[in-house]
Every structure is written in structure tokens, then in C-alpha cells.
A = this chain, B = another copy of it.
């Protein structure tokens, strides 16, 4: 046991420097470390445990809706990437190329997958022959690589971990249903597991995925008013399938082309968790994915009976919750700060007086609320408290989202908000991408986030050009 008394290192305040606050948190909570490879991160045990909990939850949702996991190759031959024009244009500038294998120079460059549409298409061509082979509902958990110029842990790194679903369907209707179902799955996962509210909707043509007919997105709002593309679900129509020559014999015995979707979320979600829920004391983790849900801190640990009681509680609780007992010699104050920084949702304090009274203290991380709890009711109260934390941080995030959503009906108003009040701007749009370009230029980076499923009528004309408006759009800066 450590005699040494380390102090929890300081974290830069959010208000002072949000970017520095973010990197302080990811480093000091031991989520990641940098490596000697530009833009590639090391995900440390505490960070990876969050990812494992995310994976387990999402994977269960995917399997319940009939999806199967597969594994495709890491490398894509250049000619395969080039089969679909938009796709290669979108990705070729940002891939890593393998040109040597062992001692030999390869006759064709291979790129490290930035995404695997083309690999799935190549495989589907072989295994889809009849309508009986459809739908194909495949997903893969893997690493992908995009050669990024500026990187930030979780938010934008050259290599990241993700899941990519790729499905093939008999009809457009079925494929659209899948596209929407998977977006809904993400929305539910964000809400019910990560305690993160978000705006969802359709991307404009300009912001669509390279090669997709429609891209749907989930856009949570970070604490500082910057949005983040939290997950996307794409409908491809039959275009990729045509490029790859995938056909099937339909129910009416004609040759048909299947309709395709893809959808994905990545380790970037961990960045969202940090920036939506975190505060100046560090991480605040949603209970459902917290590697430690409850930390037990014994008070006056050398007094007789304290450690024994703490261990007894740990034994009692460990089958039901992810529990850690910190038996180290560090002071309770140090431990409080340490596990607050690590975002542990609940702290249980127990000392000699508590034991006398058959009670303990529970403290919720997000609001530091203290409750005295009878030891007889402990498991039930912990259950309730974890739910309270979930609901509490969800509400707080929802208020932030609402507070950081403004409405603009004129360009002046728009520019004023863009400059002075970071967040979403709801405004009308004519449908022309020239207006998206202009707004981006004038605002130093505000882009259309999405056209929500339920549009409001804020004005008759486009906020930018004044022509008749076609859609209400959420705008904002993004990570």
C-alpha cells in the first residue's frame, strides 16, 4: 500500500480554456496516452473499459435486431476503392497507403480501411444470389484509419475504433426502415445509456457521406456550445451495388439490385461523454458505462472494524454493481478528489460512527449531494441513486442543449449569434449549398448540422440569400 500522498493534479477550468480542460481530463483521468505515431492514441485501461461497456450495450442492441458480426480485411486494394467515384474522392486524400510487403514492393497500393463499404460489397456480390439471401444484416467492430492533419484524443485521431454496419435489402422501403431503425438505436443508446440528449435529422447534400443518397445523423451538444457528429446512418440506394454488379433473383424471377445501408459510431462517443457531462473536477461518467459505478472510501481506516466493514460491503455489492474499494493509505480527501476526477458516479463513505449507527454516506458525483443510508437498504438505495445520477446528468445536458439553441431569422442575427453565443442556430434554408458555403465563410466554420425530422416554420425565406425557404436547419460549429 502506498504511503506516499500524491495530490490530485489540477485540471484547467473549462471557462478558462475548454480545449486544455479536455486534454487535461483525458490525460489525468488516464483515459489515453499519446504514442510516437502521429495521431494514433493509446487507450488506457480506464478508457478502454468505457469502450468495452459501450460495445457490450450496443452489440446487444444490434443482435436483438437480427444483426450478425463479421470481420473484413484491414487492407483495401486501390482498384477496389476506386469502383465508386464519390467514395474514392471522399476518402483517397486521407488514407494511409501500404506499398511494401516484407521485402517486396507491391504492384498495387493497398490502403488501410478508412471505412469498409467496398469490402462488404465485394463479399456481398459473392453471397447474394436470390431474394432468399436477403436481408444481409452484417456489422463489424474494428479499427479504421484516416490520415488526419490535426488530431485530438477520441474526437479526431488517425486511427480509431468503431462499429460499421453494412446491410443489403430487397426493397428501398426495407433499406430505409433499417437506416432509420439504426439511427433510432443510436438515439436510444445516447439517451438511455450515455444520458446524452441530441438533435437528430438528415444531412444536407453537402454534408452527406461520400457515396450515400441520404445520411442521417445524431448531433449531441457539448458543454461549450460546439456540436459533434455523434453517429451516422446512411442509405445508399442501389448505387454501390450497381457499381459492384451485385444482383439477385427477385420473387418475380427478375434480376434486381439490392438496396444498401451503412451506419456507425466510434470511440469518438467517449469524447462526447467527456464534453457533455464533465466539469471542472474532471469526468462525470454515466452510470451504465462507468467502469467503476461505486467507490468505497473507508474513513479512519485504521480504527478497528472499519476496513472489515468496508470489505464486507464490497463483498455484498460486487455481484450487483461495479464496485471498487480503495484500501490505500491515501487520505480520504485525496481519494474523494481522485474518484471525482475519474467520474465515478457514486461514492460510499464509511467510518466508525457510521458503523455504530448501521449507516453509511452516499455522495453523487455530479452534484455532490450527500445522503445517509441505512446499511439494511443499501443495494436498493444504490440502485436508485445510480438512476438519479443518470437522470440528473441527462437533465443537465438537456438544459445545456436547450440553452445553447438559438433561432435566427436574418443573416445579421445569424452572424451575431454565431459570434457571441456558441451553440446550435435554428434557421431557414433555401436548399442551395452555395448558402452553406457562404455561411461557413462568414462565420469561420458554422455548418449545417442537419434538417430535423420535425421542422419548425421560423420564417418564409432563407436566412442567407432571402430566397424562399425549403427547410429548417440546425447549424453549428463541430468537432
Contacts and interface: CB of A to CB of B under 8 A. Distances in A.
Contact of A42 (B45, B71, B93): B71
* Interface-central residue, A43, A51, A73, A159, by most chain B CB under 10 Å: A73
* Interface-central residue, A2, A37, A123, by most chain B CB under 10 Å: A37
Given A33-B127, A96-B98, A97-B100, A73 B132 contact: no
A94 B98 contact: no
A45 B69 contact: yes
A4 B132 contact: yes
Given A71-B161, A123-B33, A161-B71, A94 B102 contact: yes
* Interface-central residue, A97, A98, A138, by most chain B CB under 10 Å: A98
A35 B72 contact: yes
A10 interface: no
Contacts of A132: 2, 4
B73 A37 contact: yes
A63 to B, nearest CB: 10
B96 A101 contact: yes
A307 to B, nearest CB: 19
A76 B35 CA distance: 10
Contacts of A93: 102-103
Interface stretch (A142-150, A229-237, A271-279, A331-339): A142-150
Given A93-B103, A101-B96, A75 B159 contact: yes
A106 to B, nearest CB: 9
A290 interface: no
Contact of A75 (B37, B71, B100, B119): B37
Q: How many copies does the complex hold?
A: 2
Contacts of A42: 70-73, 119, 123
Q: Chain A contact residues: over half helix, strand or loop, or mixed?
A: mixed
A329 to B, nearest CB: 11
Contact of A147 (B2, B37, B102): B102
A327 to B, nearest CB: 14
Contacts of A161: 71
Contact of A80 (B4, B36, B71, B159): B36
Contacts of A143: 74, 142-143
A122 interface: yes
A123 B35 contact: yes
B95 A97 contact: no
A405 to B, nearest CB: 35
Contacts of A2: 132
A145 to B, nearest CB: 7
B159 A41 contact: no
Interface string A154-185: 00001101000000000000000000000000
Given A35-B122, A37-B75, A96 B103 contact: no
B98 A97 contact: yes
Contacts of A303: none
Contacts of A75: 37, 40, 96, 159
Interface in A122-141: 122-123, 126-127, 132, 138
Instruction: List the 10 closest A-B pairs by CB distance, nearest first.
Output: A40-B73, A45-B68, A97-B100, A43-B71, A102-B147, A101-B147, A99-B99, A37-B73, A35-B73, A96-B98
28 contacts: A35-B122, A35-B123, A36-B122, A37-B77, A37-B110, A40-B73, A41-B73, A42-B70, A43-B71, A45-B70, A48-B68, A48-B71, A49-B69, A51-B71, A52-B69, A75-B96, A75-B159, A93-B102, A94-B102, A95-B102, A96-B98, A96-B110, A98-B98, A98-B99, A99-B99, A99-B100, A100-B109, A143-B143
Given A37-B110, A93-B102, 7 more contacts: A33-B126, A42-B73, A45-B70, A94-B102, A96-B101, A97-B98, A100-B109
